Amino acid sequence: MKTGWHKYLIYFSLIFIVVTLYKTQHFEIPRIHSFVSLFLAFVCLLGGFMANAIAQQRLLEKYTFHISIRQALAMEGLNIFSKYIPGKVWMITGKAVYLSEEKKYRVGELSVLFLHVHVIALWCGLVIGICGLWMNDALYLLNWAGLAILGFFTLILLSKTVYQTVLNMANKILKRDYSLPDIGFSETVSLIPWFLGVWFLWGCGFFLLALSLTPYSLHFSTIFCFPLACTIGVLFVFAPGGIGIREAVITGYLTLLNVALPEAVTISAASRIWYLVGEIICFITGYIAHRQR
């Protein structure tokens, strides 16, 4: 592949993040009841981004794609805004193209691998979110479609036959011959705690953010709200960055916890700004890491 293509993807993603920022210009900063909780919310958020980069670096190592932590941070940070480009595939493609230019790996195989990474992440997010619904006696909200998606992801992760079938279908559609080294059941299971840890850190960060914006305590299961909302937002392919979908799920979940609707709406809107600030810091970190090569 011709080198230098990745920088244009970065420029394109920055255009879409500017559009996103423009849409949030009317956001009013709510009253902060606890600056300590707000600070800790950002600590958890940034810790989640770091854990996410390390988790992907470890998974790449499993498949003999060797990169350093610095390269993992650069890969994750420089492509963080690609999720705001409609289509949901550009963050996956961006990571693959970046490593192909940095390490001369094949884009196709890396794209398939990063798709596998996202399946693991989505599976973990759904599991955590379902736990939250269960704790609030709201499993009835998880319809057959949600169970089907969770079951499909589970089969892809744990069944070599299903995984190979999906890969063969992708090869047939794309008219390629992508293949990946076999990864055993025990290796897959060993990677799941990393992605569960990422979601738990982000969930704790959201919980602390909500605490900083309310004058009263919240139920512990608030931690499970953000993973559920993010996962559902990703599944809506034509909602760049899950905009609108994530906020709707957060608002609905918080009302289940008896949070007043106006406060739930405020928290959901603030969570978008909170996460966006984390993404900006992640991008700057990735840029610095890239420049230090």
Higher pLDDT, 137 or 195: 195
Question: If you average pLDDT over every residue of the chain, what do you get?
Answer: 81
Q: Are 191 and 55 in contact (CB under 8 A)?
A: yes
Higher pLDDT, 102 or 197: 197
Q: For residue 172, is it within any domain?
A: yes
pLDDT at 174: 52
* Band (155; pLDDT cuts 50, 70, 90): low
Q: Indicate if the pLDDT at residue 2 is higher than 50.
A: no
pLDDT digits (tens, 9 = 90+) for 263-282: 999 999 999 899 999 999 99
Q: Indicate if the pLDDT at residue 161 is higher than 70.
A: no
> How far is Cα 240 from Cα 84, in angstroms, rounded to an integer?
4
> How far is Cα 252 from Cα 225, in angstroms, rounded to an integer?
10
- Measure the CA angle with vertex 125, ends 24 and 9; round to 5°: 50
pLDDT at 116: 76
Q: For residue 72, is it within any domain?
A: no
Task: Compute the average pLDDT of residues 175-203.
Answer: 75
E strand residue ranges, 184-253:
none
Q: For residue 136, is it within any domain?
A: yes
Q: Where in the sequence is the domain holding 61, given as residue range(s)?
A: 32-65+118-282
Q: What is the pTM of this model?
A: 0.84
* Sign of the dihedral defined by the CA atoms of residues 220, 223, 225, 231, in that order: negative
**Contacts with 197 (C-beta within 8 Å, 6 or more apart), sequence order:** 51, 55
* Highest-scoring range by mean pLDDT, 38-47, 155-164, 269-278: 38-47
pLDDT digits (tens, 9 = 90+) for 111-140: 777 877 888 888 889 889 888 888 888 766
Give the count of domains, the chain: 1
DSSP letter for 196, please. H
pLDDT at 140: 64
Higher pLDDT, 155 or 229: 229
pLDDT at 187: 64
Q: For residue 70, is it within any domain?
A: no
* Sign of the dihedral defined by the CA atoms of residues 280, 270, 199, 230, in that order: negative
pLDDT digits (tens, 9 = 90+) for 210-245: 999 998 889 899 999 999 999 888 877 666 666 778
Q: For residue 5, is it within any domain?
A: no
Q: For residue 96, is it within any domain?
A: no
pLDDT digits (tens, 9 = 90+) for 64-73: 788 889 999 9
Q: For residue 146, is it within any domain?
A: yes
Of the listed ranges 14-23, 203-212, 268-277, the one predicted with least confidence: 14-23
**Contacts with 106 (C-beta within 8 Å, 6 or more apart), sequence order:** 100
Q: pLDDT above 90 covers what percent of the chain?
A: 33
Q: Are 248 and 232 in contact (CB under 8 A)?
A: no
Q: Indicate if the pLDDT at residue 148 is higher than 60.
A: yes
